[in-house]
């Protein structure tokens, strides 16, 4: 955990490595450090219900700590991923989202991919770029997710996205 005060190892004009409190923390948001997500589980309708995780050791290895497994009850999961190249195997392939000509996740003006309820922004959508673009796209995607959820609430339904039963190019059940 970063220190509460500016560290002597980061004097001005260096960026201070210190713990900051944001609005979400003031409202009760909880910080979890050195945690790895192992998997998600859900109900028979494909709705996510739990995050399964475990605690990990110090960098650079982040080795799993035996006996530290835990679950969190969830009803929404937002995944923020930095760009490490458009890796197609895994979640992108399992979801069956369309890719653009450069191999990035294709998304509409609301940042929704070809799979309803699956959104992409920043490096995942536009390719490696500046952090200011990622911030802007994250805000745009948040607005798109909000519009999607509001519309779904009006219709009293959201089509769940399931990684378990889908294969590439299948529609969401």
Span 47-94, pLDDT tens digits: 999 999 999 998 888 999 999 999 999 988 887 765 555 567 888 888
Would you place residue 169 in the very low, low, confident or very high pLDDT band (cuts 50, 70, 90)? Answer: very low
**In this structure, what token pair is assigned to residue 138?**
């994250």
CB-based contacts of 53, cutoff 8 Å, min separation 6: 35, 36, 37, 38, 69, 70, 71, 72
pLDDT for residue 161: 64
Amino acid 54: pLDDT: 96
Report if pTM > 0.85: no
> Is 133 in contact with 19 (CB distance < 8 Å)?
no
Strand partners, 36: 54
Is the model's pLDDT at 119 over the cut of 90?
A: yes
Percentage, residues of the chain above pLDDT 90: 40
Query: Which residues touch 55 (CB under 8 Å, ≥6 apart)?
Result: 34, 35, 36, 64, 65, 68, 70
The confidence band for 36, taking pLDDT boundaries of 50, 70 and 90, is very high
Q: What integer pLDDT is reported at residue 168 of this predicted model? A: 42
């Amino acid at each position: 955990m970063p220190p509460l005060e500016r560290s002597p190892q980061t004097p001005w004009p260096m960026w201070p490595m210190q713990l900051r409190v944001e609005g979400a923390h003031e409202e009760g948001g909880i910080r979890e450090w050195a945690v790895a997500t192992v998997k998600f589980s859900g109900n028979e309708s494909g709705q996510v219900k739990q995050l399964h995780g475990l605690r990990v050791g110090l960098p650079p290895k982040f080795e799993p700590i035996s006996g530290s497994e835990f679950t969190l009850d969830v009803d929404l999961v937002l995944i923020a991923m930095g760009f490490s190249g458009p890796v197609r195997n895994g979640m992108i392939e399992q979801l069956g989202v369309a890719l653009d000509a450069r191999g990035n996740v294709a998304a509409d003006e609301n940042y929704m991919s070809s799979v309803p309820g699956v959104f992409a922004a920043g490096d995942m959508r536009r390719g490696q770029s500046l952090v200011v673009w990622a911030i802007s796209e994250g805000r745009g995607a948040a607005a798109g997710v909000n519009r999607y959820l509001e519309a779904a609430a009006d219709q009293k339904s959201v089509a769940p996205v399931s990684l378990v039963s889908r294969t590439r190019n299948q529609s969401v059940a």
